[in-house]
DNA sequence: TACCAGGAGAAAA
DNA sequence: TTTTCTCATGGT
């Protein structure tokens, strides 16, 4: 997976969809909360949950932990998996405060910070990397289901299957994909932020059109079409 | 009605 | 070690 190919895809997506200016949050802490709530969930549902939570408490680790467990789960209901996400959010807030909050965590190196995040119950590789990139401005490339599918269909990742196989085809490991992107693109926080946002924006443009694109496996105006339309 | 949406962890094979 | 199951609401 060479840098020219990856930068070519990025240029095509940017030219087609424009800058996305991500992450959609007002504070760094809200980025972290949103990263947990958006696990396997559409962002529109996460926004509803965040609005319900903000209506009850100020969005801080202390306030979340002070909120009754049942009330927290109820606030998170629109995001789905609300019981599990309430537990995960509380686990994160506890670890966050024990670590000394944002300022103390920001002093850690990226590998140490990533290890800390992954040690928290409910924070896996993608959630950790979302937080590292968008809350801590670390040069970590976020690999999600859309990344896997688009770049597999474009022939830039090994593995994968038929275009209609969905997001659960044969996969390269998360770490190997992440490292491949980071090595090819170099440590560029702004590029990583915008690139991931464009991939997700493309993935969210679900127009319920069938069949799926034969090149990238997505519906509607797809990444492969965007790339192939470039000179 | 059925399917899908920016995962993660536990249990089973 | 790898695969499967569970968690759950909202939009189309």
Task: Name the pTM for this structure.
Answer: 0.89
What is the three-class DSSP state of A21? coil
Q: What is the DSSP letter of A134?
A: H
Does residue A80 approach strand B to less than 7 Å at its CB?
yes
The whole-number pLDDT of residue A157 equals: 79
Query: Residue A223 has what pLDDT?
Result: 53
Residue–nucleotide distance: A50 CA to B9 C1' (Å): 24
- Please report, rounded to whole angstroms, the spatial distance between the CA atom of protein residue A130 and the C1' atom of nucleotide B5: 17
pLDDT for A227 equals: 55
- Is the CB of A84 within 7 Å of strand C? yes
Q: What is residue A212's predicted lDDT score, i.e. its pLDDT? A: 46
Q: Is the CB of A159 under 7 A from strand B?
A: no
Q: What is d(CA A16, CA A80) in angstroms, rounded to the nearest whole number?
A: 32
User: In angstroms, rounded to a whole number, what is the distance separating the alpha carbons of residues A182 and A139?
Assistant: 8
CA distance A54 to A185: 37
A40/B11 CA-to-C1' distance in Å = 20
Q: Under DSSP, is residue A99 helix (H, G, I), strand (E, B) or coil?
A: coil
- Count the alpha carbons within 13 Å of A125 in the hemisphere toward its beta carbon: 13
Judge contact between A19 and A196, C-beta under 8 A. no
Residue A86 to residues A6, A157, A181, Cα–Cα distance (Å): 37, 35, 32
The pLDDT, as a whole number, for residue A224 is 52
Dihedral sign for Cα atoms in the order A85, A86, A91, A92: positive
**Segment-wise mean pLDDT, segments of 10 residues, chain A, 231 residues:** 88 90 92 96 92 95 96 95 96 97 97 96 96 97 89 74 34 85 95 94 54 46 51 39
Distance CA A47, CA A38 (A): 9
pLDDT at position A3, please?
86
Burial of A173 (0-12, 13-18, 19+ CB in 10 A): exposed
Answer whether any strand B atom is within 7 A of the Cβ of A194: no
């Amino acid at each position: 997976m060479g840098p020219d190919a990856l930068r070519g895809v990025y240029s095509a997506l940017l030219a087609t969809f424009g800058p996305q200016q991500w992450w959609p949050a007002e504070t760094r802490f809200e980025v972290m909360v949103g990263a947990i709530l958006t696990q396997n969930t559409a962002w529109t549902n996460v926004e509803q949950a965040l609005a319900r939570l903000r209506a009850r408490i100020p969005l801080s680790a202390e306030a979340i932990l002070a909120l009754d467990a049942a009330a927290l789960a109820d606030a998170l209901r629109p995001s789905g998996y609300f019981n599990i996400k309430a537990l995960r959010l509380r686990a994160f807030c506890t670890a966050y405060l024990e670590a000394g909050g944002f300022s103390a965590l920001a002093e850690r190196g990226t590998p140490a910070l990533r290890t800390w995040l992954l040690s928290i119950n409910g924070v896996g590789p993608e959630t950790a990397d979302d937080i590292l990139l968008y809350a801590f401005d670390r040069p970590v490339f976020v690999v999600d289901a859309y990344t896997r599918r688009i770049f597999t269909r474009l022939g830039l990742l090994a593995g994968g299957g038929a275009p209609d196989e969905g997001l659960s085809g044969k996969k390269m490991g998360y770490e190997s994909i992440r490292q491949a992107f980071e090595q090819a693109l170099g440590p560029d926080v702004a590029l990583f932020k915008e690139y991931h946002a464009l991939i997700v924006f493309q993935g969210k443009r679900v127009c319920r059109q069938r069949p799926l694109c034969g090149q990238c496996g997505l519906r509607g105006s797809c990444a492969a079409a965007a790339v192939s339309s470039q000179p």
